[in-house]
Amino acid sequence: MKKSTSFEDLSNEVLCEIFDYLNAFDLFLAFTSLNERISTILKYIYLHIMVDSMYYRYQIEFLSHHLTFHSHQVISLDISDKICDQIDTIAYLFDQYNFPNLRFCTFRCHDESSKLKNVIKRLKKQTHLVSLHVFQSCDAKYDYLNRNHPHLFSEIVLFNIPLSVRCATLRFHYGCSQLITTTIINTNLTYLDLLFYGKTFDQILCYFLIPILRIQKSLRQMNVIIKHPNMSQHNTNFNIPNHLSINKNDLPTVASLKKFDLQILTKFDIHSLDVILHCMPNLHEIIFTFITKIPNIPFIDILFNGNIWQQILINHVPYLNKFNIHISVLTDKGLFDLQSILDSFRCFVTQYDGWHMAVTRLQPFEEPINYEEIVLHTLNYQHLVPRHEYYEITNICCSTIEMISTYSSDTNNHRFQSYINSIEFFMPRCMEGQPVQSSSNIPFQNVNSLLIYFFEKPSINSSVKNVFTLIYRYFYRIESREYIDNLSSLINLSSIVTLEFRDRNHLRQLHIVPYILLLDYDMPFIEAFLTGFKKLRLMIVEFLINDLPDVPISRDYVTEKRRQSFGLNRNDEYKVNVLLGDDDLRISIP
Instruction: Report the SS3 class of residue 543.
Output: coil
Q: Omega of the bond prior to 241 within 30 degrees of 0, cis?
A: no
257: left (phi over 0), alpha (psi -120 to 50) or beta: beta
State the Cα–Cα distance between residues 148 and 507, nearest whole angstrom.
Answer: 41
State the Cα–Cα distance between residues 454 and 469, nearest whole angstrom.
Answer: 13
How remote is the C-alpha of 429 from its chain's centroid? 33
CA dist list (Å): 569 to 59, 497, 565: 36, 19, 12
Residue type, 157: V
Tell me, what's the pLDDT at 240?
Answer: 42
Tell me, what's the pLDDT at 387?
Answer: 46
Half-sphere exposure of 535 (CA within 13 A, CB side): 13
Cβ neighbours of residue 121 under 8 Å, at least 6 residues apart? none
Q: Which residue ranges in the chain fall short of pLDDT 70?
A: 1-2, 110-114, 137-151, 158-160, 173-184, 200, 202-203, 206-207, 229-245, 364-369, 382-400, 426-440, 452-486, 499, 501-526, 528-529, 540-552, 582-584
Tell me, what's the pLDDT at 428?
Answer: 57
pTM over 0.85: no
CA dist list (Å): 369 to 180, 328, 363, 502: 44, 17, 8, 21
pLDDT digits (tens, 9 = 90+) for 22-56: 999 999 999 988 889 999 999 999 999 999 988 99
Tell me, what's the pLDDT at 238?
Answer: 40
Q: What is the distance between the terminal CA atoms of the chain, rounded to a whole angstrom?
A: 35
pLDDT digits (tens, 9 = 90+) for 70-102: 999 999 999 999 898 888 999 999 999 999 999
Cβ neighbours of residue 547 under 8 Å, at least 6 residues apart? 464
